[in-house]
Amino acid sequence: MARPSPLQVRNLVIAVLAALVAIWNVSHGGQWWITALFGAGCVLALGSAALNRAG
């Protein structure tokens, strides 16, 4: 298995952070649209990491 590129690592870190912020926002009674924005950011970061894989 090839090592992930720095861009993939960055995207995965952003995806994890976005998911954690979305969960934190829901657990603290935050507004739904903020959770939706962070959820979309998580999905986009995961998609970017998948599209930037080697080969």
Query: Per-residue DSSP letters for the chain?
Result: -PPPPHHHHHHHHHHHHHHHHHHHHHHTT--HHHHHHHHHHHHHHHHHHHHTS--
Q: How high is the pLDDT of residue 14?
A: 94
Number of structural domains (the chain) is 1
Structural domain for 42, as ranges: 6-51
Whether residue 37 is contained in a domain is answered as: yes
Whether residue 1 is contained in a domain is answered as: no
Q: How high is the pLDDT of residue 34?
A: 94
Whether residue 32 is contained in a domain is answered as: yes
**% of the chain at pLDDT higher than 70:** 96
Q: How high is the pLDDT of residue 2?
A: 76
